[in-house]
Structure 1
Amino acid sequence: MVNKKKDTTVIVGGGHAAGTLLTALLQKKYQHEVVLVSDEPHPPYQRPPLSKSYLAGEVDQSSLYLKPRSVYENAGQQLRLGVRVEGIDRYAKSIKLSDQSTLKYDRLVLATGSHVRRLKAPGSDLKGIHYLHDIADTDALRNQLVPGKRLVIVGGGYIGLEVAASAIKKGVNVTVLEAAERLMQRVTGPEMSTFFYAKHTAAGVDVRLGTAVTGFEAGDKGRVAGVTLADGGNVPADIVLVSIGVIPETTLAENAGLLCDDGIVVDEFTRTDDRDILAIGDCTRHRNLFFEKMQRLESVANAVDQARTAAATLMGEEMPYDSAPWFWSNQYDVRLQMVGLSQNHDQRVLRGTTNDKGFAVFYLLEGSVIAVDAVNLPIAFMVGKQLVQQRKSVSADALSNTDIELKSLI
């Protein structure tokens, strides 16, 4: 009897999406060969702690790994680490690697993630200017965060504010420069922005809103010494972190002729326009069944859920991705949990007050709950998930009345 050759599934990437897909395939007892290729030297790992507990030195590197490398290899999955994919030949069904080797595939999954948006300004190549996206970035930044140093953070989004919270606790002098009128303006409402502004300023962070950066000043030995502002001012700096967002990593897909539009375009089963190539995570733009429009999400939840859908697709199962998106951020003693997308709301309802230990903001559109932001109030997040998923219509009075149990609104 001749054994039929196993198909080979190649996964490109080393983040949460790639790691979750490996695990899901193990759980489903996927019978084909699986090879993961990542240009980083680490097995798949989680990135959220990079700006929080790992930066603060509270956890070690191995705790970031979704699973030890041995778990994958003992199960027969191959990890090709520290090697970069340089091209995809869709006709030969092979990928070219940076070590000059090629790897054949029957199914290919792109979990290429994103790369940081760089600030193009005079002096941007000076030493001491950091970006934060991987373990090496955090290691380099952490080594410089010593008491008394002056850290300037360009950008007041999740990452910038999480780093600010970690750095100020280390005794570092921190200034946050945000070009918009409020913190986290792209992802949350004014109430949350005001709350976090107060939280950071109370901790000693110098937060400056409506402040655009035009360049960086050089000091001794080619190191950054200051940040120049659009209004002509200057902020002295020993260290700078630029945190102004990310860009989906689509170069491989574009060069291979796959459909891309601010992300690799996939359907609800994570399939690209090539039936043998899937894509998952931050690099994708998809039509989640929960929303009518195409969208790209930068979140662990999206990466995990798309990975599980991709595993089902590879197994020949039908499991469309239609989860309500959710996010979180830890800053000081605050855990912010968010579900849904609030951008198009026409009404905001505050439950509790921003002086309470826990409070929440509900975002409504035509009477239906489309998003919830909860601060130290996990019940609001959990109930909010169901309200958003159901597109439940709830009165503003009921949402704001703390005498009414949130569970009763489901």
Structure 2
Amino acid sequence: MADAKHFKYIILGGGVAGGYAAREFSKLGLNPGELAIISKEAVAPYERPALSKAYLFPQGAARLPGFHVCVGSGGERLLPEWYTEKGIELILSTEIVKVDLASKTLTSASSTNFTYDVLIIATGSTVIRLSDFGVQGANANNIFYLREIDDADKLVAAIQAKKDGKAVIVGGGYIGLECAAALRINNLDVTMVYPEPWCMPRLFTPEIAAFYEGYYANKGVKIIKGTVAVGFDSNSNGDVTAVKLKDGRVLDADIVVVGVGAKPLVTLFKGQVEEEKGGIKTDGFFKTNVSGVYAVGDVATFPMKMYNEIRRVEHVDHSRKSAEQAVKAIKANEEGKTIEEYDYLPFFYSRSFDLSWQFYGDNVGDTILFGDSDPASAKPKFGSYWIKDSKIVGAFLESGSPDENKAIAKVAKVQPPVQDLELLKKEGLAFASKI
């Protein structure tokens, strides 16, 4: 073990959580040489949501260093130099292939060993690939997945090479909706395909989804629901030419973008740490059952205080906040102090075309829709409340102002009682503004 590089703290993973954790360490006091971030990506941590939005735009596209963390939450941008100035070692283009939590050792693909006193697991998620299910032809060229900046670069090159071509989007979630909008803005002929009866089924009600489907249709996006891609044709160069659907239809395609979900990257820790709900089980400080090991972001399954249950959350907002919480807990622990347990209000958002929605809270119970949800309106603006046990537990708003978004967040946090759903529907956003 003489060749091992030792650090007091190692963050494994150079995504959003890794960057926010580094900033928190720096804020709370860090000596040069104490912290390393190990990332298999070749660039310093950046705000991943940009990849399915502005990165793909034909004009004024986002590029690094423009969206390094922590600009996504209004903080200063941490350029690669920032890490050097703070004495933080950024170990990039380095894939860890073996983890031994008992001996506190990480081993890279090139057989370099790294040891630590405290480890923060921030490995995030990886995309689910159609080839994982043995879908025929799924390894053809120009079938894209979007997770890292390399993926986005390849997609941008294809958009430029296949000008005014045909694109098929497989999946009706975040990636599907955001990429469909971006490719349409690039003037591609876009068709979306997904098996569910409506888009974003994990969050949207049928009424909310109907608005977005109508809006996308008005923008020229074709939508095919209730079926899946079962195969791909390609030409002699290995480039994709068509998508075969389960219902028998065949769609011509120059570009395919697949967004069918992600899975947390926890394989390296199997059998060494307690797991739950597909992630690594932690407490309200993101401590695992292994001393000196914390897990944050997509990989952490943690107690959701508001709802008194254990959950795993895949979203950038939680990645940022859980990373900060873990570092606060690590530092407090060293100083013999205590901090409050993580008290998280679930928050999701998306932007596409001229639209921008935010959702707070829990999407369970009955729902009411308020406002103007006509996709043909010049300026549509609408929302929804979720009501369970006569309390509002969730709130959604399309095209809200910053103050209005704050108001719906407060409603979801406070969970005010509601007796009359008809009255709530009439009051709509005005109800949130009173809380």
Query: Which runs of structure 2 are paired with 1:3-402 in the superposition (5 Å)?
Result: 8-31=8-31, 33-57=34-58, 58-66=61-69, 67-119=78-130, 120=133, 121-146=135-160, 147-254=163-270, 256-316=272-332, 317-342=338-363, 344-345=364-365, 347-355=366-374, 357-378=380-401, 379-394=403-418, 395-402=420-427
Structure 2 contact 7–115 (Cα < 8 Å) conserved? no
Structure 1 contact 175–208 (Cα < 8 Å) conserved? yes
Whichever residue aligns with residue 400 of structure 1, its letter is: K
* Equivalent-residue separation in structure 1 for 2:30 and 2:308 (angstroms): 32
Q: 1:407: Cα distance to partner?
A: 5.0
Residue equivalent to 1:3: none
After superposing on structure 2, the runs of 4+ consecutive aligned residues of structure 1 that deviate more than 2 Å are 255-261, 378-381, 394-409
Structure 1 contact 156–177 (Cα < 8 Å) conserved? yes
Cα-to-partner distance string for 1:347-366 (whole Å, 9 max, x where unaligned): 21222120353211111112
* Equivalent-residue separation in structure 2 for 1:408 and 1:50 (angstroms): 33
- Structure 1 340/90 Cα, relative in aligned 2: closer, same or farther at 3 Å? same
Query: RMSD in angstroms over aligned alpha carbons?
Result: 1.8
Q: 1:311: Cα distance to partner?
A: 1.2
Q: 1:275: Cα distance to partner?
A: 2.1
SS at match of 2:30: coil
TM-score with structure 2 setting the length: 0.89
Worse-superposed segment, 223-232 or 353-362: 353-362
* Equivalent-residue separation in structure 1 for 2:327 and 2:220 (angstroms): 46
Whichever residue aligns with residue 101 of structure 1, its letter is: T
* Equivalent-residue separation in structure 2 for 1:164 and 1:103 (angstroms): 42
Structure 1 contact 87–256 (Cα < 8 Å) conserved? no
Cα-to-partner distance string for 1:68-99 (whole Å, 9 max, x where unaligned): 01111201111111101122222222211222
Q: 1:257: Cα distance to partner?
A: 4.2
* Equivalent-residue separation in structure 1 for 2:158 and 2:102 (angstroms): 48
* Equivalent-residue separation in structure 1 for 2:159 and 2:433 (angstroms): 47
Structure 1 contact 250–260 (Cα < 8 Å) conserved? no
SS at match of 1:143: helix
Structure 2 contact 408–432 (Cα < 8 Å) conserved? no
Structure 2 contact 273–280 (Cα < 8 Å) conserved? no
Cα-to-partner distance string for 1:165-220 (whole Å, 9 max, x where unaligned): 11111111101001100011112111210010011100001111112221111223
Q: 1:390: Cα distance to partner?
A: 1.7
Task: Give unmatched runs, 5+ long, in structure 2.
Answer: 1-5, 70-77, 333-337
Cα-to-partner distance string for 1:241-293 (whole Å, 9 max, x where unaligned): 11100001111221534435411111111011102100000111111111222
Worse-superposed segment, 23-32 or 305-314: 23-32
SS at match of 2:269: helix
Structure 2 contact 273–288 (Cα < 8 Å) conserved? no
Structure 1 contact 88–256 (Cα < 8 Å) conserved? no
Structure 1 contact 218–226 (Cα < 8 Å) conserved? yes
Structure 1 contact 87–252 (Cα < 8 Å) conserved? yes
Structure 2 contact 386–395 (Cα < 8 Å) conserved? yes
Structure 1 contact 360–380 (Cα < 8 Å) conserved? no
Cα-to-partner distance string for 1:12-43 (whole Å, 9 max, x where unaligned): 01111111110011111135811110000111
Q: 1:384: Cα distance to partner?
A: 1.8
Q: 1:113: Cα distance to partner?
A: 0.2
* Equivalent-residue separation in structure 2 for 1:327 and 1:259 (angstroms): 25
Structure 2 contact 286–325 (Cα < 8 Å) conserved? yes
* Equivalent-residue separation in structure 1 for 2:43 and 2:211 (angstroms): 37
Q: 1:402: Cα distance to partner?
A: 4.1
* Equivalent-residue separation in structure 1 for 2:205 and 2:226 (angstroms): 17
Task: Give unmatched runs, 5+ long, in structure 1.
Answer: 1-5
Structure 1 contact 17–303 (Cα < 8 Å) conserved? yes
Whichever residue aligns with residue 60 of structure 1, its letter is: R
- Structure 1 221/198 Cα, relative in aligned 2: closer, same or farther at 3 Å? same
* Equivalent-residue separation in structure 2 for 1:52 and 1:303 (angstroms): 19
Q: 1:7: Cα distance to partner?
A: 6.6
* Equivalent-residue separation in structure 2 for 1:40 and 1:218 (angstroms): 30
Cα-to-partner distance string for 1:98-120 (whole Å, 9 max, x where unaligned): 22111110000000000001113
Whichever residue aligns with residue 42 of structure 1, its letter is: V
